[in-house]
Structures are given as structure tokens and as C-alpha cells.
Structure 1
Amino acid sequence: MLSRIFRETENTVVNRRRQIDTLKIFNDNVTEIQEDVEYRVEFSAGGYSMAVQVSLCPEFPRKRPVLKVSPQIDHPWVNEQSEIISAPGLVNFTVHSDLGRVVQAIIREFERRPPDLIGESAGRLPATHQKGQEACTSGHTSPAHIMPAFSQPRALSFPELQDLSTAELEHLSQSQDRLDDFIDKLPVVQKLNNNVEDMITRNEELAKENLSKQPRLEELGYSVREKLDALAVLKNSYESLSQEYQRLSDRYAPGSIKESLRLAALHSDEESERIAEQFLGGRMSVEQFVSIYLQKRTVSQIRKTKEEKLGSQLSELQRAGY
């Protein structure tokens, strides 16, 4: 229906504007490249000047934005095309998210843990440690936003490795399965696994709770549709009555009544003239002529008198400003 379509369109425009406003509220150095479509947010990380390019498709915010970082960096959240794809806030983006907070969280991640620029060798781990890190990033449970923690020195990231001999380390690095098993048994990974399980359980509970509300929502939706149908009937009735009111208002307006009296008086005069012609032509007796002629002239005179009196009253009202 028109009301629903108008409401949905209005909500989409308002939500899009609100999302863009949050981008400017929660972030500094926001530059508008193309109004309502493309924005650039500049910041500094690790001594480098960087920027996040924000592109909004026509379906935004029902579809998530496209974010790209420049210059090209090495980070688990960023793919080879410099597009940010794994940031938690972006992955879980909905119409109820805040674009400004999502971009703010990404920038803070880069500021707290400055990523390496592509081609930069400083700050990279040895190959063995990189394998361990890749295993974590490609594992089944470690979320992407934890990955930068593995770029710290080995003793801080994997204290369990201190008790292993060189042979055991080599043996561990030569088998992806053994490496995965070792990582899965790390306390920090087990803690993350438990957190993920808790989140999954909570999401399932929320999903069940939402599903339990579906019958009530459907009932309310049906009630709303009934009320909209009743509103449409009342609207049609109102329009019909409004037209009838306007017709009667025009008909019984003082000016219309005055004009009707004038026309009626003129009609009575014409009838009296016709009766006179019949009498003069010998088609009517004297008694009939006198009776009918006087009646018509009397009616005509009464109507003229009423017209003149009403016209005088209307003139007085006009002079009084009504």
C-alpha cells in the first residue's frame, strides 16, 4: 500500500543519511569525494599517512559498504586488492550498525598494531613463526582480530615453545597436522574457542527467542493490514462525502440562492407573459386569465422582493468585511 511504500522509502533515506552522519561524527579528517556515495578518511599509523576509502552502493545500508585501505598493507583483515573484508564490524554489518563506529574500530586497529606496508621487511617474523601464524589465521576457531597479537616476540606469543628442543620444533614445523594440534591446545586458543562457543550458544538462544516472537509479529502484521484496509474504506467514504458537501455548499451558498431567486422570478414573468398571450388570442376566459395571471405575477413579485432583500444583505456583509 502507499503508506507502507512511503514509509519504507522514507526509512531507507533516513537510515542512509544517519549512517553517513556517524562516519563524520566518529572520525576525523573525513573528505566527501561524491555526495552520499564515496568518502575518504585519513589517519596515521606506524609513522605512515594512510586512508580508508568508503564506497556506498545504492542499496546501502541494507548492503554493507566497500572499504579499501591505502597504501597497500599486509594485514589479516585486508585482501590483495587492499579491500578490508575481515573486520568484525564489517563482516557483521547490518542496517542497525553504525558506519562511523565500524571505520573507527578499523582505524584504531591499524593505529594500535601498525601493519607492514607491502614490500616492507621490517617487523616480519622468521619463516617458522610465520607458518605458525598462518596456521592460526587459517584455523577453524581463531578470529581475525586476534591475529596481530602473534606478531609479538615468540616468548610472549608462545611461551610453550620455550620447553621444546630444536628437534621438536623442527618436527612440529614439518607437519601441518601436528602444528594445528599444538595450536589448538594453546590456552589462549582454547579460551578463544570457549568464547566462540559461548557466542554461538548465545546467538542460538537469541535466534530461538526471535522465532518465538514470529507468531505475535504475524498477528500484529495482520492487524495492521486490516486497519489499513479499514482506513482505505474510510478515506473513500470521506472523499465521497466531501464532494457531496461541496456540491450542497455551492448550491446553498447565499450567492447561489440569490441567483436562483432571480432565475425563478424571470421564469414566473415569462409564464405570466405566455398566459397574457393566450388570453389575448381568445384561448382563455376572463375568469381563468385573472386567476392564473395574478397568481404568476404575485409569485414573481415575491421572488424579486426576496432577491433584492438578499442582495442588500450580502452587500452589507461585504462592506462589513465578511
Structure 2
Amino acid sequence: RNTLYPIEEQYLYSCVHSVAEIQKDVEYRIPFTVNNSTISVNILLPQQFPQEKPVVSVYPPVGHHLVDSNNGTMISSPLITNFGMHSDLGKVIQSLLDEFWKSPPALMSSSSAGFPYGLYKPAGIPPYPAQAFHYSPHHVGPGQTPSPGPGPVPAPAPMSHTGVDMVHGPPRAAAPYGLITDLPLPVPTGESQAGLNGHMYKMPEIPETFPELPDMNLNQLSDMSENEDVLLEFFVRLPQFKQVTGDKEELIGSIVDMAKKNLQMEPQLEDKRQEMLNKYEQLTQMKTAFEMKMQRQHELSESCSLSTLQARLKVAAHQAEEESEDTAENFLEGGIEIDEFLTSFMEKRTVRERQRCLCGCKRAERLLLMHSDG
């Protein structure tokens, strides 16, 4: 396996100051904040890097033109897909971050979010072999040489926590790094870092020298260097380790308490959900009734429009004129008396003239409305 070149690693640290080394020459993580949301960029180097291009992902899933829309985590930028042996990883990552700053990504729905990238390994990347636990007194930055780590440490027995039901998840596989995998994820830089759930945790300060070591004789130091159990026992007695372990247990307890409170609120949430469904059904019924009344109002409005009333008046006037003509012809033929003729004929003529007058008024009103609208 080709490791990350020192000059390339130095440039990566100089370009991106917040980079965290999760596993030497394998995995790096860069947290950044946009729109009050913390997003982490995870860089996974394959075994044949730089012959093979790195795998860069983000978490939580986001929507962005540089991110694969299918899962919202894998970065599909041309800078990554066209990565070659002569490409500069630091410049590529810095360009991606600059693009995220120019065009901030949008967080996707939590229901569509999958597993964190720490648990996600893309297809085609073979698993890395188990490695020994490598402990450095502080974060290795540019220009620093990490001290060689001790030999392999046997994995301890799985830790069980009171109140945590193992039925809700599959058991974890044996960790290759010994006790260090049971610690919180942030790298011990002494600075507060936001986890995947936004939880802020401040790692304890790691001293550059341990006051217990000068008091040991040469035999004790040799035993510690050669015997992994002695080294592990010394490591477990460190106050920093005890503090981190205690903080972890406290955090687990708070998570369990929060989960119990969430379960207790389930009936209330179910009642609110049912109430919302009832309100939605009521809203649907009211919307249907409103649309029917709007349709009825539209029909009535059409029937009472000026053009409709004018047409009806014309029909009624024409009908009254025909009836008056029939009455006149009937009188001329001697079918009715003169008194009856006068009464009927004058009544129908009056109705006809009145309807013609109304029709003319409606037409004039319609023309005035058209003129005012124009």
C-alpha cells in the first residue's frame, strides 16, 4: 500500500486546518459549518492510493450538485472522478470546500438518511486488516514525526451497559484497535468538536510528558515496552482515560434516559397524530363543500349576468309582440269583443314596450361597463 506522501499530507493540513486524522494514511475527517449546520467531509484512501482515486463523502446527507443525488453522501465531483497520480489531494479538498461555501448544500430529510459514513464502506474498497493501536501524545501535524506505536493489543471483552437493550441492534464485531475503539470518536486535539448528532465534546488535554515515567527504573520501562499488558495497564490508569470513560458512561446514561422519555411521549404523539389526521379529514370535507358552493355561485352568477338577462328580455318581448299580433288577428276575424280586445291588446303591448325599454337599459349599462374596463 502506498501511503500519503509527506509533502501532500503537509499541504492537506495547511489548506484545511480543521482536518482530523482518524486513521493514519487511511481516513481523514473535516468538519465545517454552513447555515448553522455542521457537516463533515470524510476522506477514505484506498489501498493503492494514489493510483486509485480517494473516496470522499459527506454526512449528514445533503442535496448539492457535487453530491450524488441517489444517497446524498457520495461526492461525485469531476475533481474526484478525474483524480490521478499527479493530482494534489489538498487542492482538491480545498476546492470542494470552497464550492460548498459558495453554494451551501441543503440538508436532506432525516428519514432518507442512511448510516453514517463511519459505518459505510463503498463497494470495491477491500476492508483494511486489523492494525495495532497507535497512540500519539498529541495530534500529528505538518512537520511532525509520529512516535512508533507498541505492538498489537488483544481486544478486550465486549462492554455491557446497564439499561441498553442489545435486542435493538446487532452486536458489534471485535474492534482491531483494542480499548481505543470504545472511546468517543473525536481526535484528542484539546478542542471542542461536534459529533454526528451535534453533541459537543471536549477531549482532555494530553500532556507531552507523563510524570510517572521518570520514577520508573530501566527494568520497568523495558517491561512496558516489551509487554503489551503492562503498557495497557499503565494506559488504563491514566486520568485522561478515566475521564473519557466516565464521560462516555455519562453520555450513554443520558442517551438511555432520553430514549425512555421519547418512549413515554409516544402516546401523546400518537394522540396528536390522530388529531392531525382528523383535522386533515375535516379540512378535506370543508374544501369539497367550498368547491361545490363556488361552482353553484358561478352558475348563479352566469344566469344573472347582463348578457343573459338581455337575451331573456329579448325573447320575452318577442313573445309578447307575437301574442299581441295574435290578439289583433283574432279581433279582426270577429273572435273577440272590442272591450276584451282593447284590454288584452294594450296589456301585451305595454309588456312588450316595457321589456324593450329594459333591454335597452341593460345594453346601455353593458356598454358603459365595457367602456370603463377598456
* TM-score, scaled to structure 2: 0.49
- Aligned: 1:197 with 2:249: yes
Aligned residues: 245
Q: Tell me the SS of whatever aligns to 2:212.
A: helix
2:178 alignment partner in structure 1: 138
1:114 alignment partner in structure 2: 141
Match of 1:309 among 336, 352, 361: 361
Contact 2:316 2:355 survives alignment (8 Å): yes
Q: How does 1:60-71 map to 2 (within 5 A)?
A: 60=108, 62=110, 63=113
2:147 alignment partner in structure 1: 125
Contact 1:113 1:148 survives alignment (8 Å): no
Structure 1 residues 267, 162: closer, same or farther in 2, change over 3 A? farther
1:160 alignment partner in structure 2: 212
Residues 248-274 of structure 1: per-residue CA shift (max 9 Å, x gap): 122212332222111211222334455
- Aligned: 1:300 with 2:317: no
Structure 1 residues 176, 148: closer, same or farther in 2, change over 3 A? farther
Structure 1 residues 24, 57: closer, same or farther in 2, change over 3 A? closer
Return the alpha-carbon distance in structure 2 between the equivalents of residues 236 and 186 of structure 1: 71
The unaligned stretches of length 5 or more in structure 1 are 1-18, 26-33, 41-47, 69-77, 82-111, 117-121
Structure 1 residues 321, 127: closer, same or farther in 2, change over 3 A? closer
Return the alpha-carbon distance in structure 2 between the equivalents of residues 240 and 264 of structure 1: 32
Return the alpha-carbon distance in structure 2 between the equivalents of residues 219 and 277 of structure 1: 82
Please state how far the C-alpha of 1:292 moved relative to its aligned partner: 5.1
Please state how far the C-alpha of 1:60 moved relative to its aligned partner: 3.7
Q: Tell me the SS of whatever aligns to 1:160.
A: coil
Structure 1 residues 24, 178: closer, same or farther in 2, change over 3 A? closer
Structure 1 residues 203, 297: closer, same or farther in 2, change over 3 A? same
Q: How does 1:249-268 map to 2 (within 5 A)?
A: 249-268=301-320
Return the alpha-carbon distance in structure 1 between the equivalents of residues 354 and 217 of structure 2: 128
Return the alpha-carbon distance in structure 2 between the equivalents of residues 255 and 142 of structure 1: 84
The unaligned stretches of length 5 or more in structure 2 are 1-32, 40-63, 68-74, 80-88, 126-138, 157-175, 191-205
Return the alpha-carbon distance in structure 1 between the equivalents of residues 105 and 178 of structure 2: 30
Structure with greater helix percent: 1
Task: Give the residue type in structure 2 aligned to 1:198.
Answer: E
Q: Tell me how large the CA RMSD over aligned residues is.
A: 5.2
Return the alpha-carbon distance in structure 2 between the equivalents of residues 238 and 207 of structure 1: 44
Return the alpha-carbon distance in structure 2 between the equivalents of residues 175 and 218 of structure 1: 58
1:223 alignment partner in structure 2: 275
